[in-house]
Structures are given as C-alpha cells and as structure tokens.
Amino acid sequence: MKRYKIFKLKWEIIPIITFLGIWEIIARLNLIPGQFFFPPFSVVLTEFWHLTISGVLGSNFVSSLIRVLIGFFAGSITGLFIGIIMGWNNLVNRSLNPIISLIYPIPALGWLPLLMLWFGIGEILPITIIFICSFFPILYNTVTGIKNVDKNYIFVARILGASDLKILSTVVIPLALPNIFTGLRLESGMAWRVIIAAEMVAIPTGIGALMMKAESLIRIDIIIVCLIVLGVMCLSFEKFFAFLENKLTNRWR
C-alpha cells in the first residue's frame, strides 16, 4: 500500500531552516536600519509562546477557525448541491446560469459593506462572506465536472438498468469528483485569505483583528506570528483536501 504524506517533511525542511537562520542573522546584526521594525525570528518565536500561553492567540485562532469551518462547510455543501442539480438538469442550468454568471465575478469582500448594513457586526457577517467565497467556485467546478462526464457512460449505465438517480450517484458524481475536489482544495485555502481580510476591516475578533490591534501597537512580532499561523492554515487546509482527493480518486485516475 502506498502511504500518503500530508507534509513531506524531508529535505523541504532544509530551505526553511536556512531561511529562518538568515532572517535571524540579518536582524541580530542590525543589517537593516531601524531594526525595531524587523525583529529576529527568535523574538517572534518567543512572542508566539507568550501569545499561546496567555490564550490570546488561541481564542482569536478558534474564532477564525470556527468562522472558516462553518462558512466553508455551508458554502461548499450548498454549492455542491446546486451544482449537481445544475449539471444534471439542463433547464435548471439555463435558468440559473445567467444570474450566477452575473454575481460570481463580484469579489467576496465586495459584499462587506452591504452585509455590514444587513447583518451588522457579528458572527453572521464573516460566515456569510466565507459562504459566498466558497459557494460560487465550488458550484462552477461541480457543474463543469458533471457536464464533462462522457455521455456514453450514462448510456451504458442506463442500458444496464440504472435509474436516473442511480446513474447520478454511482456514475456521474464519482466521475466528477476530480473536478469537484479541485474546487474544494483551492477554496479551502481561499477561505482563510478572505476571513483575515474581513476581520481586519470589520470584525473585532479573530486572527485578522489581532493583526490590526498589533499594527496600532506597532507590535511587528505579533503581526509576523499571525502571518505564519495564517500561512500554515492555508497550506493545511489545501493539503487536507489534496490528501482526500488522492485517497478517493488516485486508485482509478
């Protein structure tokens, strides 16, 4: 059996360590004027520890995480569901497509002012933004995936006695999985990028908000901690879906 690795922690660790080392040296040697604005990695690491112990990082991280999970989950489930119906039924596709084509290009953050007025500053706001940000791309990927399934597979299944619903569940959706997963993988990372922006602009809690507070206190170390957490989360979410995709489709693709 092949073993799937989420993080390939082999030689990839070397460039990272080198990078951190150079960072540390440059900051320690005061090579950059105004070194106050450029803390060494060890200081960032210490601050990371402090923030973790005090629970500040944890609580903000959890509120961001919960928003991403709820918004992304709701958005992708809805996108998948509507995408499957649109991909399968031409009439639905033709009636919904014009509306969706019109709304899809609007960047998720563009909704922020409108949603602030509609929902106020609360948990609904970031969750809705994440919902919008994941819904459309996943919908499109699902529709494309289903439309791209070769008609002859459907014919074969029909001749072999499958009902429409069975054709959909046993042939069409499995064959559309690679496409669907492309959407899920890309959007799971995108959700993190969007949540941070939303929190920076409008919401008082979360990693984004923590960054903005750090900015007003000129705490560069905290900002860098937040950025690292963010980078790791984007990567982990994307890798998780890549792993799932591999597990579900690698055998036959």
Partner 1 sequence: MSSITLKNISKYVCKDVNLEIFDKELLVLLGPNGAGKSTLLNIIAGLIDYEGSVLFDNKPVDMLPANQRRIGYLFQELNLFPHLDVSANIAYGLKMQKRPKNEIKARVEELLQIMKIKHLSSRYPKELSGGEKQRVALARALANSPLILLLDEPMNSLDYRTSKYLRTEFKMLQKRLGITTIYVTHNFYEAEEMAERIAVLDKGRVEQIGSPKEIFFHPTEAVNDFIGAPNILNCDYCNRLGFGLVEVKCGDITLVVYSEREKIKKVAILPEDIYLSDARPPGPDVNRVIGRLSEIEESSSTVCCTVTTGKNSLKVKLPKEIFVGMSLSSGDEVWLILAPRKLKIITGGE
Least distance to partner 1 from the beta carbon of 182, Å? 16
User: Smaller CB distance to partner 1: residue 3 or 251?
Assistant: 251
Q: Does 175 bind partner 1 (CB under 8 A)?
A: yes
- Closest to partner 1 by CB, 152 vs 216, is 152
Cβ contacts of 59 within 8 Å, gap of 6 or more? 205
Output the smallest distance, CB 197 to partner 1, in A. Answer: 38
| Candidate list 5, 94, 247, 253; residue touching partner 1; CB under 8 A | 253
Q: Could you tell me the two tokens for 220?
A: 């560069």
Least distance CB 186 / partner 1 (angstroms): 22
213 contributes a contact to partner 1 by CB under 8 A: no
Q: Helix-strand-coil percent breakdown of the chain, rounded to 5?
A: 80, 0, 20
Min dist CB 181 to partner 1, Å, is 13
**Structure-token match 């969706």, residue found:** 100
Q: Are 238 and 56 in contact (CB under 8 A)?
A: no
Instruction: Provide the minimum distance between the beta carbon of 176 and partner 1 in the complex, in angstroms, as a whole number.
Output: 10
Nearer to partner 1 among residue 49 and residue 153 (C-beta): 153
Torsion sign, CA atoms 240, 106, 215, 23: positive
Q: Which is nearer to partner 1, 80 or 230 (CB)?
A: 80
Instruction: Please spell the DSSP secondary structure of 207-243, one letter per residue.
Output: HHHHHHHHHHTT-HHHHHHHHHHHHHHHHHHHHHHHH
Place of tokens 């990082």: 57
Q: Which is nearer to partner 1, 44 or 149 (CB)?
A: 149
According to CB under 8 A, which residues from 114 to 173 bind partner 1?
150, 152-153, 155-163, 166, 170-171
Q: Where are the alpha helices (DSSP H) in the chain?
A: 13-28, 41-54, 56-88, 90-103, 112-119, 124-147, 151-159, 164-167, 173-201, 207-216, 220-249
Residues in contact with partner 1 by the rule CB under 8 A? 150, 152-153, 155-163, 166, 170-171, 174-175, 177, 249, 251-253
